Chains A and B, each alone.
Chain A
Amino acid sequence: MAGTAVRGRLSWQVATVAAVTEETGSVSTIVLDLPDWPGHQAGQHLDVRVTAEDGYSAERSYSIASADGEPVAITVERLEDGEVSPYLTQELRPGDQMEVRGPIGNWFTWGPHDGGPLLLIAGGSGVVPLRAILRHRQRSGSTVPARLLYSSRSIQDVIYRNELNQYRGNAEVRYTLTRSQPPGWGGFAGRVDDAMLARIAWPAGQRPLAFICGPTPFVEAVAELLVARHYPESRVKTERFGGA
């Protein structure tokens, strides 16, 4: 078992696409068949390598959208000028193959033993690893209180909306829409700011653990706001996404 795990980490494995599901107009979830997958922690990512017929290859990193024990899935946002994301979200079909390396990243991870309360703050496709954390939390039966604040441009851009709306009790999801809100919108509007955090962030005295994921400017702005609310830097974990 340990031998399998090491091989899985250090080398590229062939992955076969099991399913491609559209989440929003520009975002799709790809379920992969990875027979040698060693398991993973919520928050980790994997590297994908796609190779063209002429031998040209490109590599990209994607957060793992699934919890350990579920079929490995990634959720990919199609970038307008991208080279790989348009391929993955528009061309890819079940049966197609790519190579995968991972899981990667043992810092931006959460498991029930890490405790909480948990504050998850997502900007756009930054919701992917945080969704994995929520799924893992639920599957493990953890009762650690968790709140997700999810910032998107508009309601059409919200990924996993039906699933996120199911969370009840001591797991709470709140949305903020920055560019447009539907009629009768009862959630937050505009960018994450201190006033919004005042309503959703656990008080620092409760020793919360925060995970922020999204584009670099978003992550840095939110991290600064949390530190200003006396969250110790060591309890604010960040992962910055960039265009590819």
Chain B
Amino acid sequence: MALDGNAIGGLLLEIFGSDMTSAEATCATCGAVRPVADTMVYLRGPGTVVRCCNCASVLIVVTRVRGLSCVDLSGIAALEVNPRR
């Protein structure tokens, strides 16, 4: 079952060192711009998969390989951490 980016707030906090849920992500596939909180998140598999809620393309994949977090952000074209509200 899909959750949203709120569910990985802690994971992203650990990886980026700051809260990323309100960071705005631009999908590299369809160009949609949404806060990270507003993405589809698939947890509990071999890794965490974050998908664009507009086109379902993969934005971010986080795997934990031998205790180290590996983050792939290639599905994101841009990530704006402090967007103007």
Contacts and interface: CB of A to CB of B under 8 A. Distances in A.
Interface stretch (B15-23, B55-63, B68-76): B15-23
Q: How large is the interface on B (under 10, 10 to 19, 20 to 34, 35 or more residues)?
A: 20 to 34
Contacts of A238: 4, 38
Contact of A104 (B3, B21, B38, B43): B21
A105 B37 contact: yes
Contacts of B10: 47, 59, 61, 101-102, 104
Prevailing SS type, chain A contact patch: strand
A229 interface: no
Which of A102, A108, A241 has the most chain B CB atoms closer than 10 A to its own CB?
Answer: A108
Interface in B24-50: 35-38, 43
B9 A104 contact: yes
B14 interface: yes
How many chain A residues sit at the interface, stated as a range, is: 20 to 34
A10 interface: yes
Contacts of B17: 10
B13 A108 contact: no
A61 B37 contact: no
A234 B14 CA distance: 27
Contact of A216 (B2, B5, B21, B22): B2
Contacts of A107: 5-6, 21-22, 35-38
A227 B1 CA distance: 23
Contact of A105 (B1, B18, B21): B21
A181 B13 CA distance: 42
A139 interface: no
Interface of A: 9-10, 45, 47, 59, 61, 101-102, 104-108, 216, 237-243
7 contacts: A9-B13, A106-B19, A107-B35, A107-B37, A108-B6, A237-B37, A239-B4
